[in-house]
Structure 1
Amino acid sequence: MSSEQVMLGLGANVGDRLETLAAAVHAIDDLDGVAVQDVSAVYETPPWPPADDPRAVTQEAYYNLVVKAVTNLEPPQLLEETQLLERAFGRDRDREVRWGPRTLDIDLLLFGDREYDSDTLTLPHPRLAERAFVLVPLLEIMPGGALPDGRRLTHLLAALAPIEGIEPVVRLEDLPGRRFERPTGPSAPPASFSRPEFGAPADDPGRQG
């Protein structure tokens, strides 16, 4: 079965945000049929929607990053696996507020050049072009990248200018006790991890959000 490159957006603003994101990246790499290749820096970002939006919910700032991986799973399978991980980290989709606080949020942003739409998943992510907190780390590991419809990520980010409040925090490879070797170029092998133990999650179907 052939593999495709996928981009995943991770965010957390409850509890130890940095530890959650670091553990989640390792958990994604541990999934059968998924191999992490690169990870952006961690960025602290204001909640979305912005505070002046009537849909906004009062909450803490997020830590966000983007993961590049390859997978031989189909989009619905990968969505199911990532939602299992969200639940394992404490997310309860039945009780949460839309756009409210998240222990862990994993969004499927891009899946190769696919355009995909179902009741539970739309690819590319339908709000990708609206979110500077996604585009900034996405451009870091996908320089010169574009959506399947040809829109360049740089143009999408420029349309959101001025970009404010998105601050780099740390690289995961710089954390004590964590080892993540970033690839040095297109021909580099997949990244190498020292993986923490991770328990088996329970089932949690639902739409990405």
Structure 2
Amino acid sequence: MLDTASLGKRERNRLNNRKAILDAARDCFRETGYEQTTIRDIIRRTPLASGTFYNYFSDKRDIFIALFRDFLEALRTLIRSAHDTASDEHDLIHRMYSSLFLAAAKDPVTYELAHRNSQAVRELFGSDILDLAMASMDTHIRSLAANDRLPGQDSDYISAACRGVAYEVSLRVAERARQRPQMADEEARRATEFVVGFLYSNPFDGSKHQRRRA
């Protein structure tokens, strides 16, 4: 995180103004929707003069890009911390799911907006939001599956299933956190425990099915 105390007054003002615009835009997008929000709506929620907006952003799309970049940086910070503090592979997967769900819960408006505009995200960043979030986790899940440390035999199916679960559950986390922001941390924790519990509960083991058919 940038240490604003070491910056000059002018630069601090610029950072504060930019943050005020982004915070106002996020609130407007949450309450009114991205398409319906106007630049005038955003500026009205700040103490800034109307022309100030264009000193920082060119249009709404520019704001979306800035919000998403800030979201990605927060997510990458959480994922780096997960890598640095995990005690083993199992703990790493737990912490990485937690990173994704916590980021979604902390900024649900940006997360949902990125999902609804996945094509734009791909064009701007080269991948959609889940690819950006899951790339590192996917490597570890495949490694565990290949070494028979997760139930099942097919690492491709396990990876696809884990990705699908992360996709759907992260959206539910964002939706619940948006509706009840005071429960954001709790929703992220509950989602993490659910997904990791599912992952290690042998959902990919086909032996029971095979025995029933025999």
Q: Using structure 2 for the length normalisation, give the TM-score.
A: 0.25
The structure, 1 or 2, with the larger RCO (C-alpha pairs under 8 Å, 6+ apart) is 1
Query: Greater helix percent: which structure?
Result: 2
Larger-gyration structure (1/2): 2
Query: Greater strand percent: which structure?
Result: 1
